Amino acid sequence: MSHLFEPLSLGGLQLPNRIVIAPMCQYSAEDGDASDWHLIHLGQLAFSGAGLLILEATAVSPEGRISPSDIGLWSDDNEAALARVLSGVRRYSTMPLAVQLAHAGRKASTQLPWLGGGQLAPEAGGWQTVAPSALAHTDGDVPPLALDHAGLARIREAFAAAAARAARLGLDGVELHAAHGYLLHQFLSPLSNRREDAYGGSLENRLRFPLEVFEAIRAQFPAERPVWVRVSASDWVPGGWDIDGTIAFAQALAARGCAAIHVSSGGLSNAQQIPLQAGYQVAFAQAVKAAVEVPVIAVGLITEPEHAESIIASGQADAVALARAMLYEPHWPWHAAARLGASVQVPPQYWRAPPHGVKGLFTAG
């Protein structure tokens, strides 16, 4: 019996296996509205047999977008556009669907990555960014405005309102994005948070706003559906956010009803030094798992089924998340199940797909 294909509970959400499709920005929305691209993109992933599909980073306000083409969930039009996409996906797939709610903070207002990235000036379609402190992400960027208490309240309310929209859409879960150098990570890290009020300085103070946002989302999303958090376990910069702070954050989240911790790393500073190799972030997930009693999701260059299986079997994490590997091979879980002697839920239109001699690979959704 494959450990990777055992069921897993995230709060009240039951996953058929432990393969999670991580959020992957598509930069294909218009005014925050999901498009036909999202219907096709999510549709093919929803046939993959994974246990959970998390929609890309979804901005809770226009200024919280990474780029002008980010998907959003701040307006009735956004909600209606996403409802159409989800309806099409759900018509043919029973895969659990979650959304990652996000605010980019000082990393907002950027050009599309395939057009070079970099900050967009207001006259080029960009906007003024906000952050815990008026510290630019990159030399030459227009510095963000430091959020005052009214600004903090607006952002908390925006997250809560987006969570209420996610609930109306029937999404099965919400992942709060507190990783990769975006707004909530900016509050956590001493490299980006130089505030002198109750939201800066000590670890307790730097945790305060991300925890307030989590509580605001949890209050607006149905209690029987899970809310969890994606974290960057390390800035990979001396003096930056680290695994000890991550463990303290994870423990505080678990005490507030967080259903899981999704452990990534990096993204806050251009000075980061990351030793890229297969599973380079798994040790962070293992450390968090030892400190909390909620499921932990590992991610980071996990591309081979046997590697994913060993992570679960050895107890390093409770689930594995894949992003680029799923873009490259949207049927990755099919191949993993074939190699590990397991089965996956697949629509009957595809039941003739397994190679000759492979039996019992597909089951009905």
> Would you tell me how many other CB atoms lie within 10 Å of the CB of residue 201?
14
Contact between 57 and 46 under an 8 Å Cβ cutoff? The reply is no
Query: Cα–Cα distance between 140 and 5 in angstroms, integer?
Result: 48
Give the pair of three-digit tokens for residue 127.
Answer: 């906007």
Cα separation, 257 vs 275, whole angstroms = 33
Task: Report the candidate in 308, 22, 307 with the shortest Cα–Cα distance to residue 175.
Answer: 22
168 membership: H or E segment, kind and range: helix 149-168
User: Residue 224: exposed, middle, or buried by beta-carbon count in 10 A (0-12, 13-18, 19+)?
Assistant: exposed
The pair of structure tokens assigned to 62 is 């226009």
Contact 213, 184 (CB under 8 A): yes
Q: 198: how many CB neighbours lie within 10 A of its CB?
A: 12
Residue 182 among the catalytic residues: yes
Residue 111 has a CB neighbour count (10 Å cut-off) of: 18
Which contiguous run of DSSP H or E holds residue 68? none
Among the listed residues 182, 199, 280, 350, the single catalytic one is: 182
Neighbours of 320 (CB within 10 A): 28
Q: Is the dihedral of CA 137, 253, 26, 157 positive or negative?
A: negative
Residue 325 CA to residue 327 CA, distance in Å, equals: 5
Residues serving a catalytic function are 182
